[in-house]
Amino acid sequence: MDAFIFFVNLVGTVAFAASGAMIGLKKGMDLFGVCILGLTTAVGGGILRDLILGLTPPSAFQDPTSALVALAVSAIFFLRRVRHILMHNSHHYNTLLFWMDALGLGAFTVIGIQIAYEQVRDVSFFLLVFVGAVTGVGGGVLRDLMAQEVPYIFKKHVYASASLAGSLLCAGLWPWLGSMGAMLTGLVSVVLIRCLATHYHWNLPRAKL
């Protein structure tokens, strides 16, 4: 089980670091900026999660593994050949960004629930769902704010809603499927909802002036 959790966390870290680095490249940031944006995207949601759960200092500062992986991934994306492939082909860029963001969102949503179950005695269903969603979207929100973009959760196809749905499924199925089954179901559901929302252009109602 520890290997499975490590793998899911690694997938989320790599995916979100990649998405953060790609946004940094699109914004024309230097190596430092790209690495910081990738790092923030990868660990930001986990830091917010740990603060909510009262886990201080947050795990990102106790175990540097995730931070080092995020920095390495960001540096790889800054390599000239990688930059050239991504920045001169909008289709490749948009496709990779979508999949990295979707995988990161799904992985960190269920990791948030797993940490809450592990660290909090008599955890409530509301806390599980809330922490899962915050872990999933937190890093992306920080990334977009640092890049001076409107956060995805306020404009993109069913983004935060996908994380909430995955959190509800994961937390609700945990007693029935066990940790691994519930986490896999939650992760796949988040990615599937994001795929369907993008393909069919699903959006929540918007305010009209």
Residue 154: which pLDDT band, with cuts at 50, 70 and 90?
A: confident
**What confidence score (pLDDT) does residue 156 get?**
65
The alpha-helical segments, DSSP class H, found in 54-159 are 59-62, 65-78, 80-87, 90-119, 125-146
Kind plus residue range of the DSSP H or E element containing 54: none
Asked if the structure places residue 192 within a domain, the reply is: yes
Asked if the structure places residue 24 within a domain, the reply is: yes
Asked if the structure places residue 195 within a domain, the reply is: yes
Residue 151: which pLDDT band, with cuts at 50, 70 and 90?
A: confident
Please, which residues have CB within 8 angstroms of residue 121's CB and are 6 or more apart in sequence? none
Residue 179, pLDDT above cutoff 90: yes
Residue 208, pLDDT above cutoff 80: no
Residue 122, pLDDT above cutoff 80: yes
Enter the DSSP assignment of 63: -
- Show the tokens assigned to 204: 């929540």
Asked if the structure places residue 209 within a domain, the reply is: no
pLDDT tens per residue, range 1-17: 689 999 999 999 999 99
Identity of the amino acid at 147: A
- Show the tokens assigned to 92: 């490749």
126: closest CA among 164, 181, 88? 164
Number of domains in the chain: 1
Residue 207, pLDDT above cutoff 80: no
- Show the tokens assigned to 53: 């759960």
Asked if the structure places residue 71 within a domain, the reply is: yes
Asked if the structure places residue 91 within a domain, the reply is: yes
Q: Tokens 């809330």, residue?
A: 130
pLDDT tens per residue, range 93-116: 999 999 999 999 999 999 999 999
pLDDT tens per residue, range 36-68: 999 999 999 999 999 999 999 999 999 999 999
**What confidence score (pLDDT) does residue 202 get?**
83
Q: Which domain holds residue 128?
A: 2-200
**What confidence score (pLDDT) does residue 201 get?**
82
Residue 157, pLDDT above cutoff 70: no
pLDDT tens per residue, range 180-200: 999 999 999 999 999 999 888
Please, which residues have CB within 8 angstroms of residue 91's CB and are 6 or more apart in sequence? none
Asked if the structure places residue 207 within a domain, the reply is: no
Enter the DSSP assignment of 57: S
Asked if the structure places residue 30 within a domain, the reply is: yes
